[in-house]
Amino acid sequence: MNRRQALCAEFLGTAALLAAVVGSGIMGASLSAGNTAVALLANAAATAAALYVLITCLGPISAAHFNPAVSLVMALRGHLSRGQALSYVSVQILGAVAGVLLAHAMFDLPLLQSGVQVRSGLSQWISEAVATCGLLLTILLGLRHRPQSVAALVACYIGAAYWFTASTSFANPAVTLARGLTQTFAGIRPDDMAGFIVAQFIGALLAVFAMRLLAVDSTGEPKSHPAQGAVADAVPGAEP
């Protein structure tokens, strides 16, 4: 796998994801006449659709992480080196910020903003831990059992998690940092970002623990069936 191509894919994919998240939030809020449920529905649908497209198209190039929590877990499971994981996280954060700026530009809004939406408290942090844990389990179990369906599985999970979590499922530290740079529907107050990010990484580690409980070892193989092949071999691009 070409490292430059993989990093480019992670940057572009994360930027496109944030442009979809923030842009659809702006459009949904402007067209919903103050109906928050309609705006959230539009935001969730656009995000889920964008994820499906991005994972399908860029997965063979970089494995389509677009998320530092995913890259951390893949490093812990031996699919990325520490250096690769750090590179992935760096371009994911840069891409996320670029995506927010692009969304602002498309809707003729000030490029530089500071989030104002209050998203704090125990319920929000629990929601982010649950959302991130669920996302990682969806990815890891999907890679193990339905590798060709991972894009659809992730899109469906995130679309649902927008609605069943109190936080609307950020589930991504890079997304959280970037959404602190917008005052639009999808934004978050910078003071609240740290709690979200800590909860997200806790959720990611819980997913690793849950995989152990499900008798899946560090290579993604069921412990009772070691000869069936590694998860990384089941999905093109699973290793950069």
The residue that leads in pLDDT, 229 or 150, is 150
The single residue listed with the structure tokens 């890079």 is 174
Domains: count for the chain: 1
d(CA 191, CA 163): 24
Residue 51 in any domain: the answer is yes
- Phi/psi for 216 (5° steps) reads -115, 125
Q: How far apart are CA 50 and CA 155, in angstroms?
A: 8
User: Is 200 a domain residue?
Assistant: yes
224 — pLDDT class (breaks 50, 70, 90) = very low
Residue range(s) defining the domain that contains residue 25: 3-234
What integer is the mean pLDDT of 173-193? Answer: 98
Inside any domain, residue 239: no
3-state SS of the chain: helix, strand, coil percent to 5?
70, 0, 30
Q: How far apart are CA 24 and CA 14, in angstroms?
A: 15
Instruction: Judge if pTM exceeds 0.85.
Output: yes
What is the full DSSP assignment across 63-74? ----SHHHHHHH
Mean of pLDDT over the chain: 91
Within-domain flag for 155: yes
CATH number for 11: 1.20.1080.10
- The answer to whether residue 240 sits within a structural domain is no
Question: Domain for residue 230, yes or no?
Answer: yes
Quick check: is 69 in a domain? yes
Amino acid symbol at 85? A
**Unique residue bearing structure tokens 């809707």:** 107
Q: In 3D, which of 225, 222, 204, 203 has the Cα closest to residue 213? A: 222
